[in-house]
Amino acid sequence: MGACAPGARFAGSAMTRGAGGRGAAPWVMMGPVTEHPVPALPAPGAPANAPTAVAPDAGAAPEAAAGGRPRIAHPWRWLLAWVALGILAFIAAATIPVPKVIESPGRTWNVLGTVQSEGQSTDLISVSGAETYHAQGALRMTTVAVSGCPGYPVTALDVIHAWFDSDEVVLDRDQVCPESVTAEQQHKVEQAQMTSSQDAAVTAALMETGLADSMVLTVRGTTQERGDGVFKAGDVIRTITPAGGQTTTLTTYAQLQELMTTIVPGAQVQVVVSRDGRDITLAMTTLAPGRDSGREGSLLGVMLDVRAKSDVNATFSLSDVGGPSAGSMFALGIVDKITPGDLTGGKDIAGTGTISSDGTIGPIGGIAQKMAGASNAGSRYFLAPASNCGDVLGHEPEGMEVYAVSNLHEAVRAVEGIAADDASSLTTCQAVASR
């Protein structure tokens, strides 16, 4: 007789041929059917009443070899796998350094106030050799907190957080501190910049207040292009005479800069220097400025220490802060301390900017973060380098008045105007941008 294959299923109009004995007639089913277990036949030679086994449904789950429990694939196993991968990815994002730098608002210091040094409170700026006056209010130097440089790595998680913080900015590491520079080298550079800015601030402040009327130009070293052994470290430059020209006695750094713009590269000049207590005349050829320097005229090829010719001096009690950008506020602080009256009128005024010995205030980086830091510290007024106005616009904290300054004299006038609640003569960055 014909038989349906054990466990066979039929649905719809499917057809299946039976698997009975040889010569059996086909069994064709059309339409929906009901499945029935098929009894097995006794094995040949077995007693007729021998027990028979029922074949299992082909669609049933197989039984385990031991214990008889079905093997079922659980969906939660895939969920656990994805969770584990997510945890590993989070750990990697939170621990593996990436070559990025994050700049955020840093601390501020009132240069008219005090700091803790070796467990004692001391003036941030101390002036000697001149009468000083107590100052009210605040002249606040600002900083940028930088993460990602040697010794201060950042992770992908830090970078993602910074992207969503309007007061932070993410930069490529090479823009700020190349990987080839060690933490120690970076620290030395920043400390040298800070010391140089402090020296320039003292000179600029003494010249601004009239406590000095001339400068001493001392050779610190020579450029690679000069490198001819003409100058020696410690030489004090006194006069310069171009071939066929007049002798100029140098009393300020600005005077030297202006003179060199009138002398063409390759010109013969004689320079009188004071060396070991006596004057020596040096003959040399002037050098061409670098193509991208933007300078006119020529160069002597020397690096100078420029100081005011005065017995007045200032020292600074500030550690663990580097870079040149506090120069303008240092100079304002000295001016306030050595002049009668209260320059700020009790106002809290912040600012930033490099300074040169002639009082020129130059651009800095991270001004948006510095304005945010000043606002967080309670300052309502900010003095920005005029050359940074493009970075200021659109980033001014709410309620803060920002004024542009190009030199120390303008900065002093700006503080006086703020103190008097009279900003009519002050320059805003909007005015600078519209020029």
The torsion angles phi and psi of 338, rounded to 5 degrees, stand at -105, 10
Instruction: Tell me the C-alpha to C-alpha distance, in Å, between residue 273 and each of 197, 228, 262, 277.
Output: 25, 16, 21, 10
Say if CB 289 and CB 298 are below 8 A apart.
Answer: yes
Angle subtended at Cα 337 by Cα 333 and Cα 341, rounded to the nearest 5 degrees: 115
Could you count the other beta carbons within 10 Å of the beta carbon of residue 58?
10
Identify the residue whose tokens are 């038989």: 3
Q: What is the mean pLDDT of the chain?
A: 84
- 34-76: pLDDT as tens digits: 444 445 445 455 454 545 444 444 444 444 444 555 655 567 7
Give mean pLDDT, residues 398-416.
97
Question: Half-sphere exposure (CA, 13 Å, Cβ side) for 221?
Answer: 3
Q: Report the alpha-carbon distance of residue 326 to residue 364 in Å, rounded.
A: 9
The single residue of 196, 298, 310, 325 carrying the catalytic annotation is: 325
Residues 6+ apart with CB under 8 A from 402: 371, 381, 382, 383, 384, 392, 396, 428, 429
Look at residue 114 in the predicted model and tell me its pLDDT: 92
Active site residue 104: no
- 315-372: pLDDT as tens digits: 999 877 899 999 999 999 999 999 999 999 999 999 999 999 999 999 999 999 999 9
Instruction: Tell me the C-alpha to C-alpha distance, in Å, between residue 87 and each of 96, 154, 157, 163, 280.
Output: 14, 19, 13, 22, 73
The single residue of 100, 337, 347, 370 carrying the catalytic annotation is: 370
5 has pLDDT over 70: no
Strand pairing report for 348-351 and 381-385: parallel
Say if CB 364 and CB 385 are below 8 A apart.
Answer: yes
Helices (H), 96-238: 156-163, 173-176, 183-209
312-338 in b/e form (b: 16+ CB < 10 A) is: bebebbbeebbbbbbbbbbbbbbbbbb
Active site residue 347: no
Record the pTM: 0.76
- 149-201: pLDDT as tens digits: 877 888 888 888 888 888 888 888 888 888 788 888 888 888 999 999 999 99
- 234-274: pLDDT as tens digits: 999 999 999 999 999 999 999 999 999 999 999 999 999 99
The larger pLDDT score, comparing residue 157 to residue 124, is at 124
Domains for the chain: give ranges and CATH numbers.
Answer: 105-146+186-209+313-433 (3.30.230), 215-308 (2.30.42.10)
Residues 6+ apart with CB under 8 A from 366: 103, 144, 169
